[in-house]
Amino acid sequence: MSNTIYMTLSAVIICLKMSKPPPAEQVVVYKPKGFKMHSLCVNAFREIIDHLQRRLLPFGSEPAYIIRNYRPSDFDKLVRLASEVEKLKQTYSCTSPQDLVESLDLPNHFPEKNLFIAEISGNIAGYVDVVPELNISRAVLSYMLHPEHHRKVLTKRLVECAVNRALKLRIKTIHVNIPQDNRAAKRLFFKMGFKFVRRFLELRLDLSKARLLKINQTASICRCLRRGEEDKLVQVQNLSFANTWGYSPNTTEEIFYRTSLPNCSPEDIILACYADKLIGYCWTKIDSEEDKAISRSKGRIYMLGVIPDHRGKGVGRQLLLAGLSLLKSRGVLTVELTVDIENKTARALYKSIGFEVRTRSLWYEKVPDCSIFIGRGDDKPS
């Protein structure tokens, strides 16, 4: 074992002294006569060389990344990228694999035009997605880079493509959500003309420690959404969130799409009723990814809203408790939600139930000059 460690360290030192390591597939591992080396060690050497080949480049040079538009054949590789980044549990992105998959088929979203891929050696190193909300002339950027390819220049090239695409769509405001701990991203977006505008909190609740009402205790005012009521939910939702920062009015088509996704249904949405009138709702979700190592599933309060005329009467609390009880009845043990730090009423409600702050994210904003294009002069990737 000591000989193996010695040879591994020697290989690393030799590679560090090289101005340009050789291609990994050309590496031949020599060993003393009679020395037995496991095949895993040989593969480890080649992995080290491959890593250094990407990292130890001449000063000022960059790997040959290709920035291009998304193709449907990229789907599996894109999901694999998102899953790998999530498993590393590093603060590079606010987008989960589930969010990515759900966004690709959103109504009026065309990933072949709005999503840009960073590719190297046939593998996807990162992406940026432009989700246009033309009804409010806004675009939301979501992006992700694998830590092994996390370079400022590459991120900048992707964001430039996204900004140029937004300009082509005559978007007036561009927003991007960044984990608060991602200092490199904050510096980069600031240099690219984005400014900080909002802070959100990611909260978490351990359902085993929460006191919840049974579902039948809220039956007097609460029931589940029924198929065909999507238009009614749209009305309640848009009334509840009118004039809320960052809210884009939903459509019946979008509601139908989201309730038709795998592991989703109208029964996930609890409605509050008063005299046969819908006055609020609580939209619950169960993550499609489960931590099988500890056999615990996660749920989310996706949205919670009450129309203005019925606020301050405890409707929001009853809806929240009904939603949590529904999730618990389906085997969920941990629930998460996102809240605007300036929404003091909602924060107080969540705190009273037992939610605790897990992490924070920042929203940055750019108001582009529609008379110019950034970088290459159009939104076509290089």
Q: Do domains 66-200 and 211-353 have the same CATH topology?
A: yes
Q: What stretches in the chain show pLDDT beneath 70?
A: 1-63, 89-95, 213-220, 288-296, 370-382
In degrees, to the nearest 5, what angle opens at C-alpha 223 toward C-alphas 220 and 226?
150
Q: Which CATH number fits domain 211-353: 3.30.470.20, 3.40.630.30, 3.30.390.50, 3.40.1350.10?
A: 3.40.630.30
Q: How far apart are CA 328 and CA 320, in angstroms?
A: 12
- For 353-372, write each residue's pLDDT tens digit: 999 999 999 999 999 876 65
The pLDDT score that the predictor gives to residue 259 is 92
Reported CATH class of domain 66-200: alpha beta
pLDDT for 216:
47
pTM, whole model, 2 decimals?
A: 0.77
Q: Catalogue the long-range contacts made by 188-195 (C-beta closer than 8 Å, 24 or more residues apart).
A: 188/152, 188/155, 188/156, 188/159, 189/159, 189/364, 189/366, 190/364, 192/156, 192/159, 192/160, 192/163, 192/366, 193/366, 193/368, 194/364, 194/365, 194/366, 195/364, 195/365, 195/366
- Report CA-CA distances (Å) from 165 to 38, 125, 142: 51, 20, 13
Q: Which pair of structure tokens corresponds to residue 222? A: 């609460």
**Helix, strand or coil for residue 142?**
strand
The predicted pLDDT at position 214 comes to: 54
CA distances from 72 to 69, 77, 79, 99, 245 (A): 10, 10, 12, 17, 33
Please give the pLDDT value at position 224: 94
Q: What is the pLDDT of residue 28?
A: 45
Domain boundaries, the chain: 2-55, 66-200, 211-353
Q: Is the dihedral angle over the CA atoms 119, 123, 127, 131 positive or is it negative?
A: positive
Q: What is the pLDDT of residues 295-341, one digit of tens each?
A: 358 899 999 999 999 999 999 999 999 999 999 999 999 999 999 99
Query: Residue 34 has what pLDDT?
Result: 52
Predicted confidence at residue 54, as pLDDT, reads 47
**What pLDDT was estimated at residue 94?**
63
Is 281 in contact with 272 (CB distance < 8 Å)? yes
